[in-house]
Amino acid sequence: MKTLLRGGIVISAHGETKADVLLENERVAAVGEDLPAGDAQVVDCAGKILFPGFIDGHTHFDLEVGGTITADDFATGSRAALRGGTTMVVDFAAPDKGETLAEGLERWRKKSEGRTACDYGFHMTIDDWNEGISREIDDMLDQGITSFKMYMTYPAMMIPEGDMYHALLRLKEAGGIVGVHCENDGVIRTLVSDAKAAGRLSPASHPRTRPAPLEAEAVGHLLRMAQLADVPVIIVHLTCRESLEEVRAARRRGQRVYVETCPHYLLLDDSVYDNPDYMEAAKFVCAPPIRKRADQSALWEALKNSEIDTVATDHCSFTTAQKRVGQYDFTKIPGGLPGVEHRGTLLYTYGVAAGRITAADMCRVLCENPAKLYGCWPRKGVIAPGSDGDIVVYDPSAGGVITAADQAQNVDYTPYEGRKTVGSIAQVYLRGRLAVDHGRVLETRGQFIHREKNQL
């Protein structure tokens, strides 16, 4: 099966060029000017922008959080991803404390196999540390799971600092990379109990009990441990200026630090928690919380300057009904936002079209860098001969509006309701085949991707 995408603007992380792209079987067969069509089906892409399929390195599908399960499972979440141009997600396998990594992985395989519309991989969560788990790290790498996750907050998942340090040393030896959720758990717990004792139980207390300095403190704390262990680390969902300063200080010391942020930290501010309608405010509860407008500017600036390496979604969706469990107590609201479907159009609209970043920058943080960091470059993340035929055909002239009524995410709201987009996704190709056409999902045949070590 051959398809010739004729005359689009092909984007890479380093620039753009007008070219034809020939897809043959699962791969990109050729990129160049005036390619002969032969027996290929020709698709006119004049006026369209061609990105490599977007990679979302941070999703939570089918995850149990605080007694409930995310609204999106692998089937619905990955369809929504694909509809939004994301041809690969890396989700978090999360063993329960006491389980082996293999047991956790097996559960995540069962949740995802045969049900995932886009390609996918797993990070492995380390929430326990012992000799057995230490030995299992090599097995994970052998099975294509080369990235890991640790939490500095959430009692169900955080591990003691000494164990975290040992895990860092072990990952260094094995060649794995770890992303860390950085928030100072001890002080957060104190602020939460102070707020509860004072009867301040509404979502307005959420950002006040998880303030930016407590994220930055944890970032600095982790980076000093990583300095001692002499190992690179990823700061996942970085939200604020103070945390960026910690990263800059570590980089000045010569440390390798990778930074991820998310659309909600770039586009929303903490006034969402002051909505007098309790449930409206509850929709935005996530951790770390949404920050101040000044933090948004700092993040855009850092994105432009290549200080931020990836933009992922931390998609962790709950319906309004699920969020209602916390209607009298903000600490019981399941934390997380939907977003996997809208990252590409949001970044194009508020980044590229607004003049904050270039299309090449967008490609760097959505495609090339995640592909390198998560070990699937150059199979993914670039439109080049030999790479997978994962292509987003973006039509910059066909604007749209984001609404919950028109989304595949399995939730009854979107944090971006009513936002106008500059352009929209016309088609998505997954491994050479048309998978989405103007919002209609046609193909659901995602594959588990065996990943190699970090190449960024």
Binding site for ligand DUC (CB under 6 A): 60, 181, 286-287, 314, 316, 335-336
CA–CA dist 276, 273 (Å, integer): 8
CA distances 264 to 86, 133, 143, 285, Å, are: 17, 34, 32, 11
* Minimum CB distance to ligand DUC, residue 297 (Å): 23
Nearest residue (beta carbon) to Zn ion? 314
**Choosing among Zn ion, ligand DUC, none, which partner's interface includes residue 241 (Cβ < 5 to 8 Å by kind)?**
none
The DSSP output letter for 6 is E
* Minimum CB distance to Zn ion, residue 386 (Å): 32
- DSSP assignment of 245-286 equals HHHHHHHHTT--EEEEE-HHHHH--GGGGG-SSHHHHHTT--
Amino acid code (one letter) for 353: A
**Choosing among Zn ion, ligand DUC, none, which partner's interface includes residue 335 (Cβ < 5 to 8 Å by kind)?**
ligand DUC
* Minimum CB distance to ligand DUC, residue 59 (Å): 10
Of 48 and 181, the one with the shorter C-beta distance to ligand DUC is 181
> Is 285 exposed, middle or buried (CB count within 10 Å of its CB: 0-12, 13-18, 19+)?
buried
Q: Which residues lie across from 227 on neighbouring strands?
A: none
Of 68 and 255, the one with the shorter C-beta distance to ligand DUC is 68
Of 48 and 58, the one with the shorter C-beta distance to ligand DUC is 58
The answer to whether the Cα torsion of 394, 451, 80, 322 is positive or negative is negative
CB within 8 Å of 382: residues ≥ 6 apart? 12, 13, 52, 367, 368, 371
**Choosing among ligand DUC, Zn ion, none, which partner's interface includes residue 370 (Cβ < 5 to 8 Å by kind)?**
none
* Minimum CB distance to ligand DUC, residue 126 (Å): 15
Amino acid code (one letter) for 179: G
Of 178 and 352, the one with the shorter C-beta distance to Zn ion is 178
Of 260 and 314, the one with the shorter C-beta distance to ligand DUC is 314
Comparing C-alpha atoms, which of 370, 238, 374, 393 is closest to residue 309?
370
**Choosing among Zn ion, ligand DUC, none, which partner's interface includes residue 170 (Cβ < 5 to 8 Å by kind)?**
none
**Choosing among ligand DUC, Zn ion, none, which partner's interface includes residue 287 (Cβ < 5 to 8 Å by kind)?**
ligand DUC
**Choosing among ligand DUC, Zn ion, none, which partner's interface includes residue 159 (Cβ < 5 to 8 Å by kind)?**
none
* Minimum CB distance to Zn ion, residue 250 (Å): 22
Of 314 and 388, the one with the shorter C-beta distance to Zn ion is 314
* Minimum CB distance to ligand DUC, residue 202 (Å): 18
Site of interaction with Zn ion (CB under 5 A): 314
CB within 8 Å of 276: residues ≥ 6 apart? none
Of 43 and 337, the one with the shorter C-beta distance to ligand DUC is 337
Specify the 3-state DSSP secondary structure of 29.
strand
**Choosing among Zn ion, ligand DUC, none, which partner's interface includes residue 336 (Cβ < 5 to 8 Å by kind)?**
ligand DUC
Of 181 and 364, the one with the shorter C-beta distance to ligand DUC is 181
- Residue the block writes with tokens 């959720």: 181
**Choosing among Zn ion, ligand DUC, none, which partner's interface includes residue 343 (Cβ < 5 to 8 Å by kind)?**
none
Max CA distance (Å), the chain:
74
149-179 burial string, b = 16+ CB within 10 Å, else e? bbbbbeeebbbeeebbbbbbebbbeeebbbb
* Minimum CB distance to Zn ion, residue 118 (Å): 18
Of 29 and 238, the one with the shorter C-beta distance to ligand DUC is 238
* Minimum CB distance to ligand DUC, residue 242 (Å): 18
**Choosing among ligand DUC, Zn ion, none, which partner's interface includes residue 286 (Cβ < 5 to 8 Å by kind)?**
ligand DUC
* Minimum CB distance to ligand DUC, residue 10 (Å): 35
Q: What are phi and psi of 188, to 5 degrees?
A: -60, -45
The DSSP output letter for 200 is -
CA–CA dist 221, 161 (Å, integer): 10
